[in-house]
Homo-oligomer: A and B are copies of this chain.
Amino acid sequence: MFIPHKVLEEKLLSLLAEDIGQGDVTASAVIPSRLRAEAEAVVRTPGVIAGIEEATILAEALGLKVTAEVSDGDDVKKEQVILRLSGDARTVVTMERTMLNLLSRMSGIATATRKTMQILKKARSGTRLAATRKTALGFLYFDKKAVVIGGGDSHRLHLDDMVLIKDNHIVLAGSLETAVKKAKRNASFSKKIEVEVTKPADALKAAELGADVVMLDNFSPAQVRTAVTWFTKAGFLGKVLLEASGGISVENILEYASTGVDVISLGELTHSVKALDISLEIVKPL
């Protein structure tokens, strides 16, 4: 998910522009026009930091000097300084909230992902933790990138990068069999085909029909284990990936991971984010 800085810059500036509206009325009323300032972004609760690259691009685009004291993915402690900014004082306070919202949400996602990964690792199963498309609208790139920084897998990025046949597609296609056959015939060879199933027998059927990935939707850990066993017997294990999804949370994820399923996807990583508390402090006017 690499985007050249200049292209990201445009995206970030348009988010900032929306927040500003017709101009920051406080900065212009209260702060002298050529005053310069130094500021620090400080973490108020420990976690995993994400968004440093984006915050840096945004601040530099605005003509501020930026020193990043940490890198994306670093563990940060309470009261740790993560970024130092200096430059035009009005610019600093005007971009403050946009930069903090970016850092707080991305870091919140990275923190939850890392924490969940640490649970997963106890299963010693190599199971991947994946995000879903349940992100903040218009913010998908940043949400997905935060998951990756936290150690997770981005999963699909668009509706155009993988064939994912879900329950609704199967109903509309007529049957799982028709749906997968049509996908094999019509979709580009460059795309993987994933099929969502609701019972272990269908998992096997999907693999036999040529799915690259099978999503076990709302399976109990026991059902996942059954699917894994059947896949092992049929020789699909390692060739057709198994993804568990639905009804999984930090509480029961270890149980799922211990089944040896290849991927567990968790909507809450991005749809129910707890933002990391980060604030910006003016150190001194220059």
Please tell me if A84 contacts chain B, counting CB pairs below 8 Å. no
Select from chain B the residue with minimum beta-carbon distance to A174.
B285
Binds B, one of A74-82, A117-125, A163-171, A226-234: A163-171
Q: Digit string of A249-271 for contact with B (CB within 8 Å is 1, else 0)?
A: 00000000000001100011001
Q: Does A273 contact B (CB under 8 A)?
A: yes
Which residues from chain B contact A280 at a C-beta distance below 8 Å?
Answer: 168
Within 8 A of B (CB), among A8-54: 10, 13-32, 35, 37, 39
Which residues of B sit under 8 angstroms from A205, Cβ to Cβ? Answer: none
A135 within 8 A of B: yes
Given A26-B183, A102-B137, also A159-B4 (CB < 8 A):
no
- Chosen A-B contacts, 13 in total, with CB atoms closer than 8 Å, are A1-B24, A4-B63, A23-B145, A25-B161, A25-B188, A29-B182, A29-B183, A29-B185, A30-B165, A30-B169, A31-B169, A101-B271, A137-B142
Please determine whether B172 and A37 come into contact, CB atoms closer than 8 angstroms.
Answer: yes
New A-B pairs, 6, CB < 8 Å, besides A137-B138, A190-B192 = A2-B23, A18-B138, A23-B157, A25-B163, A108-B272, A273-B273
| 0/1 interface trace, chain A 91-117, chain B, CB 8 Å (1 if under) | 111111110111011001000000000
Complex Cα spacing A192 to B26, Å:
11
Residues of A whose CB lies within 8 Å of any CB of B are 1-7, 10, 13-32, 35, 37, 39, 61-63, 88-98, 100-102, 104-105, 108, 128, 130, 133-142, 144-145, 153-169, 171-173, 179, 182-183, 185-192, 194, 212-213, 239, 241, 243, 262-263, 267-268, 271-275, 280-282, 284-285
User: With the chains together, A271 CA to B19 CA distance in Å?
Assistant: 15
Q: Which 9 A-B pairs have the closest CB atoms?
A: A1-B23, A21-B158, A161-B161, A21-B160, A136-B136, A29-B186, A24-B159, A22-B157, A271-B275
Tell whether, in the assembled complex, residue A153 and residue B189 are in contact, meaning their CB atoms are under 8 Å apart. Answer: yes
Cα(A158)–Cα(B188), bound, Å: 13
CA distance A254 to B179 in the complex (A): 32
Contact A213 B190 (CB under 8 A): yes
Is the Cβ of A139 less than 8 Å from the Cβ of B141? no
Q: With the chains together, A3 CA to B185 CA distance in Å?
A: 20
- Residue in contact with A95 in the complex, picked from B4, B101, B165, CB distance below 8 Å: B4
Which of A89, A133, A138, A275 is packed against the most chain B CB atoms within 10 Å? A138
- The residue of chain B having its C-beta at the shortest distance from the C-beta of A16 within the complex is B7
**CB atoms of A18 and B140 under 8 A apart:** yes
Alpha-carbon distance between A192 and B193 when the two chains are bound, in angstroms: 10
Check if B105 sits within 8 Å of A271, measured CB to CB. Answer: yes
Residues A139 and B139 in contact in the complex (CB < 8 Å), given A24-B3, A188-B155: yes
